[in-house]
Structure formats: structure tokens, C-alpha cells
Amino acid sequence: MKSKGIWFYGLSGVGKSYISKLVHKHIRESVVVDGDLVRKLVSFDLKYGKSDREIQVKRVFGIAKLIIESKKYPVISTVWMNKEIIKKCAKANIAV
């Protein structure tokens, strides 16, 4: 089955945003969801502790689901990821 989105995660500075932009250029109807931008515009109420990072990835996942519902392809990049969201991505057919 073809994926409905892709999520890159890893340490700061490893090229997640760079590869997201490359993927975006090659996939029609894609939307880049940059975790840093989501934090700035949506999750500005959060800090950087574990519990706040958990909330952040849930919000990013919700944004990804909205994009999929709009028949677009989310290309996501975040620093943090957890097992719960990896499982939800699998159910939503988002490649991690």
C-alpha cells in the first residue's frame, strides 16, 4: 500500500528539513510540516522537557491527519518521536 505521508525525526542538524524540502519538490500535493515551525506558531506554550515534547508530537500528528483528510501528502520533520505516535503513524499509513 502506498504511504499517505512521511515523517523524518532525529537530532537537530542532521538534515531533516533539507530532505523534507527535497521530498516536497518531488511529490505532487505534498505539504511540509516542520516541527520547529509548528512549535513557533502552534506550540509556543510548550517548553522542551519530555512531557512537552510528547504533547508536541501529538499536535504534529494531528496536523498530519488534517493534511491527509485534505487529500494532501504530509512531509513531516521533528526532533522528538515516541512509540505511541509511531504506532499511530503505522495505522494512518504514514512512513516513519
pLDDT digit string (tens) for 13-33?
999 999 999 999 999 999 999
pTM of the complete model: 0.95
**pLDDT tens, residue by residue, 28-54:** 999 999 999 999 999 999 999 999 999
Q: Flag whether pLDDT at 1 surpasses 90.
A: no
**pLDDT tens, residue by residue, 55-82:** 999 999 999 999 999 999 999 999 999 9
Q: What angle do CA 68, 73, 78 make, to 5 degrees?
A: 95
Do the strands 94-95 and 30-34 form a parallel or antiparallel pair, or are they unpaired?
unpaired
Question: Rounded to whole angstroms, how far apart are CA atoms 65 and 33?
Answer: 11
CA-wise closest residue to 6 among 70, 60, 83: 60
